[in-house]
Every structure is written in C-alpha cells, then in structure tokens.
Amino acid sequence: MTPLDTVHGFIARINAHNITGLAALMTPDHRFIDSLGAVMEGRETMRDGWRQYFNMVPDYHIDIKRSFVDGSEAALLGSAGGTFSRDGQLSAVDAWQTPAAWRAVVRDGRIAEWQVYADNEPLRQRMRSPA
C-alpha cells in the first residue's frame, strides 16, 4: 500500500466509525494533533478519544476533495461535519460542517501522526446553544 492508500483507508474507517479499524491503522506511538495544537499520544489513548468523539458527533464524516503526497507525508483538503448529539439525540439544528485540512505521516503502512486544521467554531456553537 502507498502512503496515500493508508491515509484513505484511515479516512474510510473514520467515516465508518470503525474504532477497531482505526486503531489497527495507527502506530503504537501514534500522535494526534488537534486544530488548537493539543497533542494526544498513543494508540490506546486515541482509541478512547475516537470513541468519545463519535459519541459526541455520531455522524461525523470527512469529505476529501484534494490529496497531496510527499514521501511518507500526506496533506488532504476538504471538509468535516456531523451533528452534535445531545444525550444521544440528533437534531438538524445541531448539524455543522466546516472546511478542513489534515496532515498525515505514514510509517510502515500505519498512521504515525494525524493533524487536523479546522475551525471548530461551528461545533462549539452547537455545543453552547440551548437544546
């Protein structure tokens, strides 16, 4: 598999909310860097992180429009979106979407680093608004 194949497989697992599959594509020392620059390290930490995120945004999805690869590093451009869940309930008023970009570092066929560049204000607004 090429680095781009690995990255697209990772995105497919995100869109399928396949936490086991995501973990299988992460290196044990996987690093996740969110849009504010906060770093989470370790496959098991991220397994729990994805579980929590999918509980908060059960229909989270990524739509990639462009991809670029330079060796083992990939850059992806597109959008992310979903619906903020209030106690397991989804309402159209809590749906959001934002332009986004991602940077991935692939090592030995797995994602060693996943970095998100996105304005999360649309999601934060849904979280702050009354039900």
| Helix, strand or coil, per DSSP, at residue 74 | strand
Phi, psi torsion values for 99, nearest 5 degrees: -60, 145
Phi, psi torsion values for 6, nearest 5 degrees: -60, -45
> Which residues contact residue 57 at a Cβ distance below 8 angstroms, ignoring those fewer than 6 apart?
82, 83, 84, 85, 123
pTM reported for the whole predicted model: 0.91
Q: Rounded distance, CA 111 to CA 107, Å?
A: 6
Within 10 A of 63 (CB to CB), how many other CB atoms are there? 12
pLDDT tens digits for 15-29? 999 999 999 999 999
The full set of domain ranges for the chain reads 3-128
pLDDT band of residue 131 (cuts 50, 70, 90) is low
Q: What local confidence, expressed as pLDDT, does residue 122 receive? A: 66
Which architecture, in CATH terms, is 3-128? Roll (3.10)
Q: What local confidence, expressed as pLDDT, does residue 98 receive? A: 94
Query: What is the average pLDDT score of the chain?
Result: 93
> What count of Cα atoms within 13 Å lies in the side-chain half-sphere of residue 72?
10
Q: What local confidence, expressed as pLDDT, does residue 114 receive? A: 98
pLDDT tens digits for 76-126? 999 999 999 987 788 888 888 999 999 999 999 999 999 999 987 766 776
Residue 30, class by beta-carbon neighbours within 10 Å (0-12 exposed, 13-18 middle, 19+ buried)?
Answer: buried
Q: What local confidence, expressed as pLDDT, does residue 86 receive? A: 84
Q: What local confidence, expressed as pLDDT, does residue 62 receive? A: 97
